[in-house]
Amino acid sequence: MTAPATLHDEIRLRYGLYTALHAARAHDPETFTPGFSNTVLGAILGGRRMHGWRVVGITKAALQAYRDQDFSRQAEKANGMTRGHLHRRIDTTGMVLDGEEPLSVEELAQVLWDRDMTIICVRGENKKLETGEIEAISFENEDCRLFTGKQVGWQFGDAEKTLLRKLADQYL
């Protein structure tokens, strides 16, 4: 799927910061190591209102934890829930920073749309998602309205509870 126009708008607001990071990394790779660049890029692009770390699934353990806590936010605290990326963030950072020229707004938006997807998981599962050791229950979230990102964590309301109850009935 093509990245939505609203993501392009969000990227456009931060594009100058991205191009400055691209130039800094090219000029001083000893300072702007992959790890440091990943942190800086995360700060620049993280916390995007609609599209940051788009949730597209949940592990069975996380779904069970929500069910055990009657689909309340207590499940997140009790189980150290997080969002695990399907693609390693450091690899995505390399894709957007290692070229000779910065990506265009459209190219950057598409890379992030394709690679910045996450799965809600419990403590210890996030790295296993990247290696395929754990499978997740996928769900549609193309409009990015479920589990919308905040600077840290995600929004959780009635729509999310309804989805999780439906998934629990189907998969647990």
Other Cβ atoms less than 10 A from the Cβ of 66: the count is: 27
Q: How high is the pLDDT of residue 58?
A: 96
Could you tell me if 132 and 155 are in contact, meaning their C-beta atoms sit under 8 angstroms apart?
no
What mean pLDDT is predicted for residues 89-98? 94
Which tens digits make up the pLDDT trace of 41-64?
988 887 655 567 889 999 999 999
Q: How high is the pLDDT of residue 36?
A: 96
Q: How high is the pLDDT of residue 143?
A: 82
* Model confidence band, residue 151 (pLDDT cutoffs 50, 70, 90): low
Which tens digits make up the pLDDT trace of 22-38?
999 999 999 999 999 99
Q: What is the DSSP letter of 55?
A: E
What is d(CA 137, CA 56) in angstroms, rounded to the nearest whole number?
Answer: 9
53: tokens are 């770390």
The answer on pLDDT for 162 being more than 80 is: yes
The number of C-alpha atoms within 13 Å of 27 and in the hemisphere containing its C-beta is 6
Q: What is the DSSP letter of 104?
A: P
Q: How high is the pLDDT of residue 49?
A: 59
What is d(CA 166, CA 164) in angstroms, rounded to the nearest whole number?
Answer: 5
Could you tell me if 119 and 136 are in contact, meaning their C-beta atoms sit under 8 angstroms apart?
yes
Number of domains the chain contains: 1
Could you tell me if 20 and 83 are in contact, meaning their C-beta atoms sit under 8 angstroms apart?
no
Strands 117-121 and 54-59, bridge-based pairing? parallel
Q: Which domain holds residue 23?
A: 5-171
What mean pLDDT is predicted for residues 2-24? 88
